[in-house]
Chains A and B, each alone.
Chain A
Amino acid sequence: NAGVTQTPKFRVLKTGQSMTLLCAQDMNHEYMYWYRQDPGMGLRLIHYSVGEGTTAKGEVPDGYNVSRLKKQNFLLGLESAAPSQTSVYFCASSGLNTDTQYFGPGTRLTVL
């Protein structure tokens, strides 16, 4: 099993550009999450999903949108990137019967 995978691994954007980060999990997990990690600030939850077709806002949702059209995929979109969105983005998933989260390897995004 691949676990949780993220695409792409690295990306550089100019201010105002848009992009979509893809997260895929092959563990049949119900819950999926998007976090951003910034130096000295731990992980902050952007959006999450408790099942296919559902999404909810986390701690820092502004400037991001998400979609969960298929159970195994969770997409994070930036419609108009800003330098403040320079960060490392992690996707994670967890199952109904486990509260352990499984993380992807991360996407390092730089917005110039």
Chain B
Amino acid sequence: NAGVMQNPRHLVRRRGQEARLRCSPMKGHSHVYWYRQLPEEGLKFMVYLQKENIIDESGMPKERFSAEFPKEGPSILRIQQVVRGDSAAYFCASSPEDEKLFFGSGTQLSVL
């Protein structure tokens, strides 16, 4: 049973480009969470999704950021028109019903 898979591990974008981060949850997990970690800061919740539904997006900026978890395929976190302040590590976690979280290895986004 593979763990939570995130790709790419590292992503470099120029200002104004789009960034797409992918997360495949563990088999059997229907809950996906995205977190952002800035240097020297704790992880911050962004969005919580179940299949085809956004349950809680209260931690996600209203503009430029979107997330989806389609019926088939990985969850996608999309950042449009990236700015330098978007540079961070983005972690995805999945869970079964019991709240225990399993994290992926993260995507390090660098905006030039």
Answer whether A and B are interacting partners: no
**Which B residues have a C-beta under 8 Å from some C-beta of A?**
none
